[in-house]
A = this chain, B = another copy of it.
């Protein structure tokens, strides 16, 4: 007769379903679907439901999401920028794993990508190929630009370690998208920076930049080499195939769920580290 038992009344008496909140920046950035895939399968193995929230990397949107998440899920895996949001969720007391954030408080579990190692590989590779002037296309959406541990600062450190006179002038801000990468490439070319190589915050920005460079008559990799930073499936398919730091994003998601499960059994906050691997392709 169209009658449906109430989920709530039911959950009240039985053990009730665990809902894991997964907060990502943008499902259209191919980085996230891979993480989502890992989270979905690991959650499914435990019989958990996954609720997805997207912040668009917009700070006020992120706060709204954090506030919602706090009273609608039982545990949380999140990409979050604002320390206030991180604290809000942590203080809610639910199991919480923060991903890819360099400012993680020690009391919060985390999943980190070891870009320190990654950047050394990437910059080292470019220097080996003879590049002495490398532009870094940073994500301008991050409020912590240049802080210790960010790709921005790790790039500068790696470059310095290789003996390059790198400074803030080598870093160009880019919106986190193909178009953002393209616009930033315009900046690199128009300001006469004279880059023979471009290293981007992620593959999306790198691909956008590489295409724009080609459109403007720069030949890749002869005139300018390109290196990305997350190893999207996509990076293998573009022309030329992109050199990138391959990150096991699915594992990042799986490990986060695993950590949530550990927190539920009363384990201490821990950190999982994913080490990227440099994959050299035709773009460099």
Contact = CB atoms under 8 A, between A and B. Distances in A.
Contact of A8 (B11, B27, B73, B92): B11
Interface of A: 2-12, 16-17, 19, 26-28, 30, 32-34, 36-37, 40-41, 44, 49-54, 68, 71-74, 92-94, 178, 207, 211, 233-234, 237-239
B27 A30 contact: no
6 contacts: A6-B11, A7-B11, A8-B10, A28-B233, A32-B33, A234-B237
A40 to B, nearest CB: 5
B27 A16 contact: no
A178 to B, nearest CB: 8
Contacts of A16: 7-8
A178 B19 CA distance: 33
Given A50-B52, A52-B50, A211-B237, A3 B93 contact: yes
Contact of A27 (B10, B11, B12, B37): B37
Nearest to A47: B68
B12 A40 contact: no
A92 B44 CA distance: 22
